[in-house]
Structure 1
Amino acid sequence: MQQCVDELVNDIGNLNLECSTTAAFDTDTAISVKTTSSHISSASKPHARPRDPCWDAIQGKKFNGTGISLDDLGLVRRLGCGDIGSVYLVELEGSDGCMFAAK
């Protein structure tokens, strides 16, 4: 178990965040983020269902002015690894169980 924790600590600085619904959001420079759109307007088609609680949680963090930081994520477990890094299952704190993959 300690080895898993040590691997998480070593890799946590290299997290990239992407919602499983391919929603895009911007954060500070400490986290690299894959974005699918440079501008989201009310006229554009949303990237998620209108009543998706995970989409609402991301939008709430995005528009409250603080963005998403590592402090907002709870690491659940390592999902896998490959040549360029590991993928972790994370939960957005305060979101009633919204899970995302973080690399």
Structure 2
Amino acid sequence: MFDLDQLFQKSDLISVIIQDVETREVLMLGFTNKEAVELTLKTGTAWFWSRSRQQLWNKGETSGNFLQVERVMTDCDTDTLLYLCRPDGPTCHTGARSCFFNEIPMNGKDDVP
């Protein structure tokens, strides 16, 4: 059994990347604490810590667009999580499938041969 305390040795909050289990598209990035991870593992839906509201939240609790977590992985430093999920609908609060849709142009990108 994995010891969740390993995840929180450096900080009480860690990043969690949400990725679609089928397409591998990155859907969002959130923050989690130990209690939120425990709830995620127990319920099978993604729980996070809201830094702005200073409280736990279950993604989809108001919109109905839950993230069904199928796999949980950690990075090599054991300080970031990856949730491979099956989204019930749009992930972004704007209604977009992914939170990542605003592209920042690269300076000089078109100048490279």
**TM, length-normalised to structure 2:** 0.25
Structure (1 or 2) with the greater strand fraction = 2
Task: Indicate the structure (1 or 2) with the bigger Cα radius of gyration.
Answer: 2
- The answer to which structure has the higher helix fraction is 1
